[in-house]
C-alpha cells in the first residue's frame, strides 16, 4: 500500500518530505489539485467536494490511507468526510490532531474527558478559511480545557510561499505576529496551521518572543503517522512506487515543485 498525501497546492510537499524521512520504506503518492487551486476563499461546500474528489483519486490509486496535507482542507472538509463515512478499509487523516497531540501531551486515540493542559495561551496561524472554520479550536476542545486560542489569518503569506515568492516572508511573518500579539501579548505556544509555513519556525519564534514553542505540521504529522501505522501493521500491503500527481499541468507542477524541493520531481496527470 502507498500512503497518499493530498493538497490543493504545494504546501503539503513539506509534509511529504517529513513522512519520507520518517518512513523511508513506505511508497508515497502526492496529489496536488492544481487545476482548482487555491481553495482558500472557496465555500466550505466547494472545498469539501474538491477534497473528497482528490482523496477518492488517491484511494483509486491504491492508497488506503490518505493524509490531508492542507490546513484549509483539514479545516473545511475532514470532519464532514469522516462523519459521512469512508469506504471499508480506507482512512483519511488531517493535520490538526497531530499538532494538538503534541500541544497537549495526549496520545492518539485518548478519548478520556478533556483535561487541563500545561499550555493555556495558544496562537494559531493559517489561511482565512482555516481561521474562520474554528476547526482547530473544536478539535482542541475535545482534548483540553482552559486553553485560549487567538487565531491570525495570513492567507497573503501562504499565497506568496505557494507562488515561490518568499522574498518578503520574514517581514510578513513579523507583521502577522505583531497583529496577533496586540490581541494576545503572551502566547506560550504557536501552531502553524498551513504546510506552507513549515521552515519558518525560527522566524515565527523570533517574532513572537524566544520563549514561545512553535509547532509545525511536517514533523508532528510524520511522527503521528508512524505511530498510527505501528498500531495498524495490517495496512502494509504490496509495495508500490512513489508518484507525484496533479490535476493540472504536469510540467508546471514540476517546475513549481522544484522551487520548493530544490530538486526535480516528475509529475504525471491524475
Structure confidence by residue, pLDDT tens digits, 155-206: 999 999 988 887 889 999 999 999 999 999 999 999 999 999 998 999 999 9
Judge if the upstream peptide bond of residue 83 is cis by omega within 30 degrees of 0: no
Q: Evaluate whether 18 touches 99 at the Cβ level (below 8 Å).
A: no
Task: Please give the C-alpha separations between residue 188 and each of 64, 120, 121, 175, 181, in angstroms, as whole numbers.
Answer: 37, 7, 6, 19, 11
Which of the four pLDDT bands, split at 50, 70 and 90, describes residue 237? Answer: low
Residue 122: all three cell numbers together = 495558544
The per-residue pLDDT for 238 is: 63
Out of 1.20.120.1750, 3.40.50.620, 3.20.20.70, 3.40.50.1860, which CATH number does the structure's domain 3-94+218-269 have?
Answer: 3.40.50.1860
* pTM score, whole prediction: 0.94
The HSE-up count of residue 100 (CA atoms within 13 Å, CB side) is 22
Tell me the pLDDT of the chain averaged across its residues. Answer: 92
Structure confidence by residue, pLDDT tens digits, 107-118: 766 778 888 988
Parts of the chain belonging to CATH 3.40.50.1860 = 3-94+218-269, 97-217
Q: What fold, for 97-217? A: Rossmann fold (3.40.50)
The per-residue pLDDT for 75 is: 95
Amino acid at each position: 500500500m502507498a500512503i497518499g498525501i493530498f493538497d490543493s497546492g504545494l504546501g503539503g510537499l513539506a509534509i511529504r518530505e517529513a513522512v519520507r524521512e520518517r518512513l523511508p520504506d513506505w511508497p508515497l503518492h502526492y496529489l496536488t489539485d492544481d487545476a482548482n487551486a487555491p481553495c482558500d476563499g472557496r465555500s466550505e461546500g466547494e472545498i469539501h467536494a474538491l477534497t473528497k474528489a482528490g482523496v477518492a483519486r488517491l484511494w483509486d490509486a491504491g492508497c488506503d490511507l490518505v493524509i490531508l496535507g492542507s490546513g484549509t482542507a483539514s479545516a473545511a472538509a475532514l470532519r464532514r468526510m469522516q462523519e459521512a463515512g469512508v469506504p471499508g478499509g480506507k482512512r483519511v487523516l488531517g493535520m490538526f490532531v497531530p499538532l494538538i497531540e503534541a500541544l497537549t501531551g495526549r496520545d492518539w486515540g485518548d478519548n478520556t474527558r478533556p483535561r487541563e493542559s500545561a499550555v493555556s495561551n495558544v496562537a494559531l496561524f493559517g489561511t482565512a478559511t482555516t481561521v474562520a472554520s474554528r476547526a482547530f479550536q473544536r478539535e482542541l476542545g475535545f482534548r483540553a480545557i482552559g486553553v485560549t486560542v487567538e487565531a491570525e489569518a495570513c492567507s497573503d503569506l501562504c499565497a506568496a510561499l505557494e507562488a515561490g515568492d518568499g522574498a518578503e516572508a520574514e517581514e510578513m511573518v513579523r507583521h502577522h505576529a505583531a497583529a496577533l500579539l496586540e490581541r494576545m501579548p503572551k502566547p506560550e505556544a504557536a501552531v502553524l496551521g498551513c504546510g506552507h509555513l513549515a521552515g519558518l519556525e525560527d522566524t515565527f519564534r523570533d517574532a513572537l518572543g524566544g520563549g514561545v514553542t512553535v509547532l509545525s505540521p511536517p514533523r508532528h504529522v510524520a511522527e503521528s503517522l508512524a505511530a498510527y501505522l505501528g498500531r495498524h501493521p495490517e495496512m502494509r500491503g504490496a509495495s508500490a512506487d512513489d508518484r507525484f500527481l496533479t490535476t493540472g499541468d504536469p510540467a508546471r507542477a514540476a517546475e513549481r515543485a522544484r522551487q520548493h524541493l530544490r530538486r526535480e520531481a516528475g509529475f504525471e496527470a491524475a
